[in-house]
Structure 1
Amino acid sequence: MDQKRHIPFNSVDLTSLISALLCLINLGSTLAFNIIVSLSLLALLSNYTISIGCILYRRLWHPAALPPARWSLGRWGVWINAAGFLCSIWAIVWCCFPATLPVSGTGANYGPALWAGVVVLAAIVYVVHERKHHTPPVIYIEGRRAAGMKFIGISY
């Protein structure tokens, strides 16, 4: 961690290297590259949809449960969250279509099948292990705050 800039350069360098190596897959197989891009996009959009959906749920049905934020979208917050949620779902649907028509074995989009497999695997890991051993981030932060530890970029 660079103490002056508060940037983990080792993590940034490793992520950049892995991304560059994944881009080389396109030289060998366009199908493999399309699967990786589709799977990555579906994972990212799923993350957005779940995150925005949880915030939207809390804003509409349990507004007192949200902690105060550093900044707010004001009265437009619910509408912006709803638009982001719907846009993410719309993009997920379109990401599941094949790259070419007519669909063949080499032109099919296998990303959604792999994405479903990852979701099922994550659910199994949660049920078997994480349900009993997982420490939610809020509890972790509260414990560190109670111990007097400082967080970079987080003000209390």
Structure 2
Amino acid sequence: MARIEHFNNPNAPKPNSIVVAVTVFVQDEQGRVLLIQRTDNGLWALPGGAQDFGEYIAETAVRETREETGINVEVTGVIGIYTNPNHVVEYSDGEVRQQFSICFRGRYVDGNPRTSTESSAVQWVARSKLGSLSIHPSMLLRINHGFDRRNEPYVG
């Protein structure tokens, strides 16, 4: 399913859903962040996705990271809660989702990067290389907050 990100776009369609979703910021021993290239829009992003029924939100973070990247993580904290009403995602099935995403900090446990149906590429990326990748501004905000190791979670 294709998706279009609308960010501060006054002509964006009005949202018709809010879904609890997660992203996960995890680094390797060299300090690089784990990123995927999404198959639905081609942009680079932190791994993540929607919570399933019967699942604790931290379990969602672990499951989504494993499914999209082949990497097992342990959730160690919260980087932020991202709820900008001016960021909506339009899907080809007619859903227009207002952003609601909790970004977790994860600790690498084991596994080797591999692609999935949701990720055409999976890489450990140094902060200095982020500028060479196509990353949505809202995702870059989360990535930078992860690297910055803020004292308190971001709420916005």
Establish whether TM, by shorter chain, passes 0.5: no
- Tell me the TM-score normalized by structure 2: 0.21
Whose radius of gyration is greater, 1 or 2?
Answer: 1
Return the structure number with greater relative CO, CA threshold 8 A, min gap 6: 2
Q: Which has the higher helix share?
A: 1
